[in-house]
Structure 1
Amino acid sequence: MVLIEIESDDEIAVKEEPNPSRSSTSPPKTSEAKIVGGDDSEGFETASEREVSDDEEEEEGGDRKQDAIENQEPQPSDNPERKEDQVEAVTDVESNQEKALEDANEAKMEGNKLFGNGLYEDALSKYELALQFAQEFPESLELRSICHSNSATCYLKLGKYAEATKESTKAIELNPSYTKALVRRAEAHEKLEHFEEALTDLKKILELDPSNDQARKSIRRLEPLAAEKREKMKEEAIAKLKEMGNTILGKFGMSVDNFKAVKDPNTGSYSFSFQN
């Protein structure tokens, strides 16, 4: 019986909106220029500070300078409304992510119920829906890993072992220390007679959990099967090479049977001698 985990959603923090800064205005002075809708200008050179020989030119120059300053628009960083819009945009994004995670978790739990009732195809659809909701949010990493692992379990129940290895691999990529996903991938590899790959997963499980006796027993059971398969693959490779050699040597009226291989016990290398 496969245990399906139910994880709770992570809490999404919502940033508080900062209070817009107030702009202070002060009555215009004879020697200072006033900025309309903004802070008083400090250090700005007014007409009274310049050297002008004619008093009238001094007054007109000051008026022109003041008009230029009054017509300037406040910079975006000084615009309270712009700041409020930015805060609202961030809040909307976080709210959308929170809603998506809630929908994803709900779909996952529905999949768990369907799995418990033996409706594996329907459960798969719910896990796929949960993954669509979760997308690539950093907060959804654990949830996505669980959904992939649960999907792998469904495929195992349906006898679709290649699909089970793919879903398990996706879960492990998101969470390399996910032992349950490693167990499910090892089981799928064994069903496909990928004994070497299954042993790799089982040994990884023991690294993460040295007390896992089931993994240790599975390793002892699979090691002879893996060795047997290696020997069988070696014999098949030799047979193919022999067939290829006979095809080439046959043109010269010979075969690989005309060559005897002798192994050197000291070096382990082979020497070949021709025999009629």
Structure 2
Amino acid sequence: MVVIEPVPKPSNSTTSAAGDRLNTGSVTGYASDGYETASDTEVVDDEAVSDNTDKLDEHERNTKDQTYEDALNDDELNQKTLAQMNDTKVEGNKLFADGLYEEALLKYDCAIQVAPEMPSSSEIRSICHNNRATCFFKLGKYEDTIKECTKALELNPKYMKALIRRGEAHEKLENYDEAIADLKKILELDPGNYQSMRTIVRLEPLAIEKREKMKEEMLGKLKDMGNTILGRFGMSVDNFKAVKDPNTGSYSISFQR
């Protein structure tokens, strides 16, 4: 069964039109211009200093009010952007539920592109990347699945569902060592995940078999290359035999006609 991740509902949040709650934040503070005081050798006009101080205080208040207003505007914009991202994601979920995976992919991508640089959007972007991975998995595009899961994990390294999905895609491509690596990461996050343990036990013999097969293929290619070169001299690699020394464990090469 494929699960499409919902948006989390943290506290201190704003409710979007889709019913999900999105994190918001506010920024406060101000910046003021510095000024130099008179030196000991200068004659100071007390009234002038007082007047300049009053003007400086007024400037600081105006700057603070403007900065606070800008922060509120930015916060409101962030909230609207996050709500738009969530609404688009929900549309993608509906298309996925109807089996329209290509159309769902476009919706998830739109949600990701709305605000790619917003730190507050990293969680929902991670979810959308994982949902895109699920669509690609359904379409049998396992390499694209792995790419999307990797993007999701870059945003959230502890994203269990992305690790599970990437491991499944690696297994489909017979990348058994990579699949086992993802399963071991899952066990680091969830030591009691027995499904991952059983899958590792099942995949390890397949990984060993594939490594041996790759080794044989590599040796075969090296042998063919050697025969091509030695053939010019009327020889082949079969004329050479590796003999192991039982005492040292080292090998020596002997020539045979």
TM-score category, normalised to shorter length? 0.7 to 0.9
TM-score if structure 2 supplies the norm length?
0.81
**Residues 1:13 and 2:13 aligned together:** no
- Residue 130 of structure 1: how far off its partner (Å): 1.0
Distance in 2, matches of 1:229 and 1:150, equals 31
> Is 1:116 equivalent to 2:128 in the alignment?
no
Instruction: Tell me the TM-score normalised to structure 1 length.
Output: 0.76
Task: Give unmatched runs, 5+ long, in structure 1.
Answer: 19-30, 43-72
In the alignment, structure 2 segments of 5+ residues that lack a partner are 10-20, 31-43
Please identify the structure whose Cα radius of gyration is greater: 1
Which residue is equivalent to 2:38? Answer: none
- 1:216 and 2:197 equivalent? yes
Quote the residue 1:177 is aligned against.
Answer: 158
Q: Does the C-alpha gap of structure 1 residues 17 and 232 become closer, same or farther in structure 2, counting only changes over 3 Å? A: closer
Percent identity reads 56
Do the aligned residues in 2 keep the contact of 1:4 with 1:150 (CA within 8 Å)? yes
Secondary structure of 1:273's partner?
strand
- Select the residue among 133, 137, 146 that pairs with 1:165: 146
* Corresponding residue number in structure 2 for 1:67: none
- Identify if the C-alpha distance between structure 1 residues 165 and 266 changes in structure 2 by more than 3 Å, giving closer, same or farther: farther
Q: How does 1:8-157 map to 2 (within 5 A)?
A: 8=9, 9-14=21-26, 34=47, 39-40=50-51, 74=55, 78=59, 80-157=61-138
SS at match of 2:22: coil
CA contact (8 A) 2:112 2:125 kept: yes
In angstroms, what is the RMSD of aligned CA positions?
Answer: 2.5
**1:78-136 residue CA offsets vs partner (Å, 9 max, x unmatched):** 26444433332222222211111110111111111211111111111111111112322
Structure 1 distance, partners of 2:121, 2:191, is 29
CA 1:76–1:137 in structure 2 vs 1: closer, same or farther (change >3 Å)? Answer: farther
Cα 1:266–1:95, aligned 2, differ >3 Å: closer, same or farther? farther
Pair 1:41–1:228, CA change in 2 (3 A) = closer
From 214, 218, 236, give the equivalent of 1:233.
214
Per the alignment, do residues 198 and 16 of structure 1 end up closer, same or farther by CA in structure 2, a change over 3 Å counting?
closer
**SS of alignment partner, residue 10 of structure 1:** strand
Q: How big is each residue's C-alpha offset from its partner over 1:227-273, in whole Å with a ceiling of 9 and x where there is no partner?
A: 11101100011011111111111121111000011234455432210
Q: Is the 8 A contact 1:76 1:82 kept in 2?
A: no
C-alpha contact (below 8 Å) 1:123/1:154 kept by paired residues: yes
Shift in alpha-carbon separation, 1:77–1:202, aligned structure 2, 3 A: farther
